[in-house]
Structure 1
């Protein structure tokens, strides 16, 4: 699939990632043999997040069993799960001093439990090593199997996120093996378990305004509390091409509409991704002491010469 050549608007241009904190996060993830969606998914915010000493950890490897047309993560046959990964994730969070961490994963349709067991163990390890850290998890659909999703919600993370990604009409066009209704059922079940639920969509894939508003209604009806809306950017020329670059004022309009429709919090702007500045999303829906979300690094600082 050949992407149509378009000049990137000024509001989507990001600085090249550099700096001490950026290098420190990069070196930490390499040293602990960990993956992040920031690098695996070619996220445009990698410089912003890593320069602030934060990252979204990706468990269960870096190869996905699905092949969605919008996603930059590798697809293919994954390696067996790394049983030591949960402990290394927990230790990395401790070293970074995170007060709110985000964990996601590839889809693992090759595993009998679709990866739910490793998910539960990862949350348990994080809680054990970092009892004061808020935990947000961005989960796959688990084929909407309640027993598998419950393994995650029973660990009581602070936020459980599952992205719809796009509107109903475009779901079969861009998502591999996923169904719009399946994702809504995941969100509905998470909400029924008393855990804060979150979801996000991308704009610029050819959706209409009416479809975006319908998607908002569907999410609110499912019990979703937090919504993120960002601009789709094709990871490579072989991915789904960008249909439109949506102007910032349109994103702001959707943010206000979302709040009117009943979301507790809506993050909507071109460079928004579901885990970008996720601590702000968490603060919006829980009356917590803000100090919980202040990063206190346990990594050694720069040498003074």
Structure 2
């Protein structure tokens, strides 16, 4: 099949441009629904009642119904408002973050129990306003889940823990202490997404740095070499295959064990436009390259997201 998957988005009429972009979306991005409505409704009801959040819902993940049916879900800790403004992310930003809910760990644990989840991913908005960047909230939530459901495995997907201020301490010292705090709580996997290639970090990940993200993954291994680490990229921002391969090599160089590759899809007019749609065959090729590099667990496909099949044993 021949298909021009490069997209140039005009600024002349943004509304028309977005509609044209959606209309031109390739068929492989339209073939999969969001899952069983009953499973989605059950989760939505439980999280709404407890005023907690999942990235599955906040990000409108196309796989959320499938993940719910597999007894996995990804909870978004510390509120739905991020202190950063990455140009690709659908999570709300640009406002004052919410005060922490002291009962959030127990509410998440209760939801995990009610949903009978076997594998849970805990992620967060970036909370550069907090003294510990939110590391303590990860630990408290993990403890609450284990107290209620010790059999449930817990993966963490953290920010880079760079922000915040602590007098007399450098950003690097703060970051390493926060990472070490989460690692000491013994998650099943430590995930931190690098998101895109080095050249595109600035326009895509405002407030984050390529080498800083590599350092997060490197330091996790320094703290505990046995702990699996994971990272992911969202393709479609204009990166080349050579740049992707270079990024995968950089991830392997810091000991990253697991990888997700998915297609970026523009959430709204306020987000970056899609520059390229990678085909399923190209995702298969990149996945094979990653496995040849030594990644133990690879998910590569247009609709793959950070937590896709996260609970499966490599």
TM-score normalised over the length of structure 1: 0.89
- How far the C-alpha of 1:8 sits from its partner, in A, is 1.4
- For residue 185 of structure 1, what is the aligned residue in structure 2? 215
| Partner-residue secondary structure (3-state), 1:142 | coil
Aligned residues, how many? 282
Cα contact 1:137–1:161 (8 A) shared by 2 = yes
Cα contact 2:34–2:61 (8 A) shared by 1 = no
- For residue 123 of structure 2, what is the aligned residue in structure 1? 104
Are residues 1:29 and 2:47 paired? Answer: yes
- For residue 26 of structure 2, what is the aligned residue in structure 1? 9
- How far the C-alpha of 1:20 sits from its partner, in A, is 2.0
- For residue 279 of structure 1, what is the aligned residue in structure 2? 311
Cα distance in 1, alignment partners of residues 36 and 287 from structure 2:
31
Are residues 1:253 and 2:270 paired? Answer: no
Q: Deviations over 1:33-90 (max 9, x none)?
A: 1101112123222333345554211000000000100000000211111110011111
RCO greater where, 1 or 2, for CA within 8 Å and sep 6 or more?
1
Cα distance in 2, alignment partners of residues 42 and 77 from structure 1:
22
When the two chains are superposed, the root-mean-square deviation of aligned CA atoms in Å is: 1.5
Cα contact 1:21–1:53 (8 A) shared by 2 = no
Cα distance in 2, alignment partners of residues 168 and 205 from structure 1:
12
Cα contact 2:299–2:308 (8 A) shared by 1 = no
1:199 to 231, 254, 258: 231
- For residue 94 of structure 1, what is the aligned residue in structure 2? 113
Cα contact 1:123–1:155 (8 A) shared by 2 = yes
TM-score normalised over the length of structure 2: 0.86
Cα distance in 2, alignment partners of residues 17 and 255 from structure 1:
24
| Partner-residue secondary structure (3-state), 1:223 | coil
- How far the C-alpha of 1:219 sits from its partner, in A, is 0.2
Measured at CA, do residues 102 and 16 of structure 1 come closer, stay the same or move farther in structure 2, by a change above 3 Å? closer
| Partner-residue secondary structure (3-state), 1:55 | strand
Measured at CA, do residues 118 and 126 of structure 1 come closer, stay the same or move farther in structure 2, by a change above 3 Å? same
1:241 to 273, 281, 290: 273
- For residue 182 of structure 2, what is the aligned residue in structure 1? 152
Measured at CA, do residues 190 and 251 of structure 1 come closer, stay the same or move farther in structure 2, by a change above 3 Å? same
| Partner-residue secondary structure (3-state), 2:311 | helix
- How far the C-alpha of 1:175 sits from its partner, in A, is 0.6
